[in-house]
Each structure stands twice: as structure tokens, then as C-alpha cells.
Amino acid sequence: MNKPVLVSFLVSGDPNPDATLKFMKALDKYSGVIELGIPFSDPVADGPTIQAADVRALSNGFKIAKSFEVLKEFRKESDTPVILMTYYNPVFKRGIETFVMQAKEAGANGLIIVDLPLQEATEYREICKKHEMGTVFLAAPNTPEERLKISDEASTEFLYLISTFGITGARESFEQMTFDFIKRARTTCKGKICVGFGISKGSHAESLIEQGADGVIVGSAFVDIIKNYGDSEEALVKLEELAKELSEGIEKGYEKRNK
Amino acid sequence: MTCEGYFGEFGGQYIPEVLMPAIDELKEAYSELKDDEEFQNELSYYLKNYAGRETPLYYAENLTKKLGGAKIYLKREDLLHGGAHKTNNTIGQALLAKRMGKTRIIAETGAGQHGVGTSMAGALFGLETEIFMGRLDTERQQPNVFRMKLLGAKVTPVDTGSKVLKDAVNEAMRNWTATFENTHYLIGTVMGPHPFPTIVRDFQSVIGKEVKKQIMEQEGRLPDHLVACIGGGSNALGLFHAFIQDKDVRMVGIEAAGKGLNTSLHGASISKGKKGVLHGMLSYFLQDEDGQIEEAYSISAGLDYPGIGPEHAYLHDSGRAEYASATDDQALNAFMELTRSEGIIPALESSHAVAYAIENAGNMDKDEIMVINLSGRGDKDLNTVIDIMQKRGM
Ligand SMILES: Cc1ncc(COP(=O)(O)O)c(C=O)c1O
């Protein structure tokens, strides 16, 4: 990804696995990366929107193995990088190595584990390295400089910049803090940096990319559409519309940046 | 990068990145204040003059005679201001929060005792207070909800998940993620990411220190058995901690067996849980094969947490402490028994520890000594117990 990209997030199994596959295919056209969430019973880093999606999936009997199956199906048609996002317990329970191997076999390019901070991630990183599985760590506006550097080095795909303090969920506008953070990360980090949490509009994407991000990660805004339109044709149309708007915003931001 | 806060393989800091600076700040503040004489004096002052320490160690002669075995002593945390041991920790952490310059405290609560304790400390030290409580718990612990509100706290019912303690923890963590600049998350038991399990244990360990002194005065020797109920494990560790090096003292934690360990309705995370990671720590949790956390159940709102503090997980694995369980029915029976025989109405949580004595004391020698931590009083549970008695036509 040399030009900035849209990273589209979906909760696998919301509202059912077949729908997830359809949604992934629909978003694929506009996305540089697809981030596939594995539902967890206690998603403390997520806001109400994604939490509700996890509940929808789990109460439909969703199992982790299904996430892998969905990804396998998707791989038959697309090479778009897919990053699996989850919490540590599902990984720990399966065994880190088993989890990584299964994810690899299904076609995942990387993993994000939101509650596994660097200092707890030594074994996980070794296993990922051994199986050539990509890793993505997170950084927040209050992450100190030294830690930001290490997080950047530990992230093989991109570093995930959290736009603000708090949890996921679509927001109206972005604060100066987010822009300052992108600039700081831009000068500190060697790898790619993508910004997430709260992005829901083309104009958001435009301004964040203009500031120097390599990508924007959009989750709750897509999940909101699924909440409202479920497993319908309309959902597909709306998802594509939003993805299109976001990628146009990215394009504009990129042009402005290079002026 | 080094890992911190481990008890054997348990503990750690499994938290979202945003919280790292807040956790670092807390760790630094606490390691400074832990040995700060002024801070410790201030804490002792409030524990004595506000909360009413030390609490008595009471020889339950009637119960002892009835059971016909070991001598039973009750550590009367039910007499602490607020009605439970929770106050030891809330005063400690609220003072800590003040020293860190925080203006707001938040907490999760199940039985409501920790919420009440936090609200009292908030009122006492002039800190804005918000309490997260599962919707279901707000319904079964009405008197405590009312107390919190009277004390000036905002009580926020949580409607997600199973609407009980675990979900209240999730909500409090979420809130903290967005507010830590001015807010301290006052965790109510020996759980969470490091340094919380240590902080809470230290503030609760006053219980065991007093017991040690009191039993030497009354019996001239250490007890044979220490018994306490286990939710997250704070009243139990508070009792146990001063005795960990005294290898002849048995330590027994009592988990909630709910409707029975062979049903899915219990809160026994050591007996029935598996190693896992939640709420910032590696410990034992009730969970399925996919690592999804299961709902815990107990008649007592304070015991239906699906996990346990990491230091208990370690004490269990290393064999230093034992863990048993009592069912709802056994706890109810113990509730009645203690009320009738000693005129003390225990919390349903504490009744689980009393149930262990009822099951086992009779088989012990008369010169053995058992200390039960009476973690709280039962006023808050009267509605629950009355409902059950009426249903059973008693
Ligand atoms: C009276 C009482 N005892 C025990 C507990 C269980 O907590 P812990 O295991 O941390 O002592 C509670 C929790 O709410 C309580 O209110």
C-alpha cells in the first residue's frame, strides 16, 4: 500500500457468516485492507456499536472456526490483505501457536489483539514471526515517544493509531489532538500508520490522510449500516456507498497532501 | 519490555494501549505512597476514626457448641462503617486518588457494598462519584442503590451482557478509558491489571494483621483454619495475607456453587474455570472452548463474578490455599443458622464461608481454631431472603 488506503472493519458472523462474506466482497472494491473482527463476549475496548454486533453474532451461535471459514471462502476470490482483530482470551484459550497457524491457513495476513500490549506480547510475537504472520500494535495520543517507537517496530503491517481516548464508535469531528498525533507518529515511525476510532465520513478520511496517515480504519460506521439493514440487498448498497465516499475522501486528502 | 505484576504465571497487564499511561501513573503513585509515613498515618486515622477499626474478633460460642468441633471465631467486618470490608479499600484508594490529583472516582459493583464504600469515600473526600452496576443487581440490591444515591453518587445501570458484575466491570473500564485524566477507577477487589491486585490486597490486609494480634491475645496461638468467601477474592486475601508465611495455618476460600457445581449456574471460577485473560489479568475464568466468558451465577450478587484475582489463582496452583464451595441453599441455611444462634445477620456472601464451618467444624477437634471472615452484614440481602422464604412458605 503505497497510496493511502481504506481499512474496512466488519464483525464476522454479524448477523451471520454468509452475510459477512457478501459484505467483504462488497467492500473489497474500495478497500486496501479488510479487518475482520472475531466476536468476543467482553469487548471492553469497543463501543456500543461493535459490542452489539458481537452480541448479534454470538447469539446466533457464532464460533471462531467460522471466522476462518469465511476468510477461506473470501480468499478464493480476492488477494486483498485481511487482518483478524480479536481479544487475547480467544487466542490464549486455543493456544497462541494453534491460533496463528489456523489463521495463517485460512489466509490471514496479520493479527490485531487489542488487549495484548507490547510488554505481554513477547511469545506471541515470536510465534507470529515463526509462521510469518503479520502483527499490528496500537498506539494512543498519550503513548510516550519511546513506546511509540517500539510499537512501530513491532508492527509489521501498520501501526494502528487510536484517534482519541476512549472506545470505538462513530463521531462527528476530530480534534487537533488527533492531527498532532498523526504528525508526531509520522516523524517517529518508520512503518505505515493507519488511524482508527470514530471515522465515519469522507470528510474525516480526507483530513486525516491530508495530515499524513497511510490509511483510515472504519468500523462502527459500517457496522451501523448492518445493524439498520441486516442481511439485505440494501445493506450491500449502503456499505458500498459509504466505502466509495470514504475512498474518495482518501483520494482528495492524498492530493491535498501532495500539493 | 518487561512484564510486571505476576504471581507465578498469573496477573499481568492485559489492557488496551490507551490505558497504559494511566496504569503507569497509578503504579508510580502507589509505589511512592506505600511507604510514605504521612499517607499511612492519614489512612490509619480514617480507618480508625471514620470506619471504626479495629473490628472485633468474636468467639461464636453458641455456634461452636452447636456444631460440636472447632472453636469458631468471627472477624466482624460486618461492623465496619458501610457494612462490609469494602470500606478498607475504598478509603485507601480514594486517598490515593486525591494524592494523584484526581477529582472523580468511578467503580463497579455487584452487591452494591463496594459501590456504597466508594460513594462514602467520594462524599468524605469531595470526589465526584459514578458507580456502574448491572441492571439485574440494581434490582436485587435496592437498599444499596438507594444508599449510593443518598451519598451523592451517580448510579449507572448497565444493560449489556448478563447485566451483572462482569458487565459493570466492562462499563467502568470503558468509562475509564475516556476519562482517566481526571478520574481514578477504584476497583473493588483483588483483580484487574497490575498494580490493582496488589493495591487492593495491601489495603485489605489490615484484616489479617488484626486477626493475628487478636487471636494471640485471646488464644495465645495462631488459628488452624482461616475461612472466607470468594467473589474476586479481596476479603479472603485481606484475611489470608498476614498468614501466608505461617505454613501451619490452613487457608480456605469458599466460592459460590450456586445451584450446584454440576449445573451451569454457579460462580466457582477456581473449581470450574480455566486459565484465561480478562479484565487486564491472566487468571481462572468460567469460559467455553472458544474462550468466550460465561455468565456466573450466585444467590449473592457479590460472588457472581466469572473470574478470580490472580494471587488466588497462584495460591491455588502452588497449594498454599484451598478452595471449596457452598451452594445457594447451604448459604441460605448458614444465613439462618448464624442469625438464630448468635443474633448476627450475615451478608449472603459471608454466609458461604459460614456454610463451610457448618459442614466441617463438627469433624474437627475441639482445640482447633477456625476464624471466619464475616465480610459483611446482611441488611442489604433481606429482600432476597424474604422473597425466598415466602416462596417456600416459611
Ligand atoms: C459482603 C461481601 N462479601 C464478599 C464480597 C466478595 O468480594 P471479595 O471476594 O472481593 O471479598 C462482597 C462483594 O460485593 C461483599 O459485598
Q: How far, in Å, from the CA of B264 to the mean position of ligand 1?
A: 21
The predicted-structure confidence for A220-235, as pLDDT tens digits, reads as follows: 999 999 999 999 999 9
Q: Which of A46, A206, A214, A224 is catalytic?
A: A46
Q: Where are the domains of chain A?
A: 5-258
**Residues of B taking part in catalysis:** 86, 108, 375
Q: Sort out which chain A residues have CB atoms less than 8 A from B14's CB and list them.
A: 88, 115-117, 120
What is the Cα–Cα distance from A40 to A55, expressed in whole angstroms?
Answer: 8
CB-based burial, B7-32: b 16+ in 10 Å, e otherwise: beebbbbbbbbbbbbbbebbbebbee
Whole-angstrom distance, CA of residue A71 vs CA of residue B78: 55
Q: Distances in Å between the alpha carbon of A50 and those of A232, B25, B165?
A: 19, 29, 21
Conformation bin of residue B163: beta by default, left when phi > 0, alpha when psi is -120 to 50 = left
> What is the least distance, in Å, from the CA of B46 to any CA of chain A?
34
- The domain locations on chain B are 8-48+86-196, 54-83+205-392
Provide the H-helix boundaries in B205-309. 206-219, 234-240, 269-272
For A63-114, the pLDDT digits (tens) are 999 999 999 999 999 999 999 999 999 999 999 999 999 999 999 999 999 9
pLDDT digits (tens, 9 = 90+) for A151-204: 999 999 999 999 988 777 667 677 889 999 999 999 999 999 999 999 999 999
pLDDT tens, position by position, B127-138: 999 999 999 999
> pLDDT value at position A2?
79
Three-state DSSP state, B280: strand
CATH node for A5-258: 3.20.20.70
The pLDDT of residue B224: 98
Measured between beta carbons, the chain A residues lying within 8 angstroms of B21 are 140, 142-144
Chosen from A38, A40, A44, A151 to mutate, greatest number of chain B CBs within 10 A: A44
d(CA B242, CA A216): 53
Query: Is the model's pLDDT at B2 over the cut of 80?
Result: no
CA distances from A38 to A114, B184, B356 (A): 11, 31, 42
Question: Å from B241 to nearest chain A CA?
Answer: 27
Strands A110-113 and A82-86: parallel
Sheet containing B183-185: order of strands:
B154-158, B128-134, B104-109, B183-185
Distance from CA of A168 to the nearest CA of B (A): 10
Q: Indicate the residue of B14, B21, B274 with minimum beta-carbon distance to A120.
A: B14
Give pLDDT, residue A170: 67
CB–CB contact B275 A162 (8 Å): no
Tell me how far the alpha carbon of residue B85 lies from the centroid of ligand 1, in angstroms.
Answer: 8
Q: Residue B165's CB: how many other CB atoms inside 10 A?
A: 34
> Which of A:113-132 have CB within 8 Å of B?
114-120, 122
pTM of the entire predicted model: 0.96
- State in words which class domain B54-83+205-392 has: alpha beta
Residue A1 has pLDDT above 60, yes or no: no
Q: pLDDT, tens digit, for every residue of B328-377?
A: 999 999 999 999 999 999 999 999 999 999 999 999 999 999 999 999 99
* Minimum CA distance residue for ligand 1 atom 13: B302
**Residue B49 above 80 pLDDT?**
yes
For chain A, how far is it from start to end, CA to CA, in angstroms? 20
Q: What is the pLDDT of residues A121-148, one digit of tens each?
A: 999 999 999 999 999 999 999 999 999 9
Fold match between B8-48+86-196 and B54-83+205-392? yes
CB of B173 within 8 Å of any CB in chain A?
yes
Instruction: Say yes or no for a CB contact (<8 Å) between B18 and A166.
Output: yes
Indicate if ligand 1 lies below 6 Å from the C-beta of B345.
no
pLDDT of residue A174: 79
A46 has catalytic annotation: yes
Which pLDDT tens digit goes with each residue over B297-316?
999 989 989 999 999 999 99
Q: What percent of chain A has pLDDT over 90?
A: 92
Q: Does residue B230 line the site of ligand 1, with CB under 6 A?
A: yes
pLDDT digits (tens, 9 = 90+) for B283-302: 999 999 999 999 999 999 89
Q: Ligand 1 centre and the CA of B117: distance in Å? A: 12
Percent of chain B with pLDDT over 90: 93
CA-based nearest residue to A18, from A74, A56, A65: A74
- Which among B234, B240, B251, B338 is the best mutation to test ligand 1's pocket, defined by most ligand atoms within 8 Å of the CB? B234
pLDDT at position B1 is: 65
Residue type, B309: G
Ligand 1 centre to CA of B372 (Å) is 14
Query: Which ipTM score applies to this complex?
Result: 0.95
Which residue among B13, B16, B178 places its CB closest to the CB of A114? B16
> Which CATH code fits B8-48+86-196?
3.40.50.1100
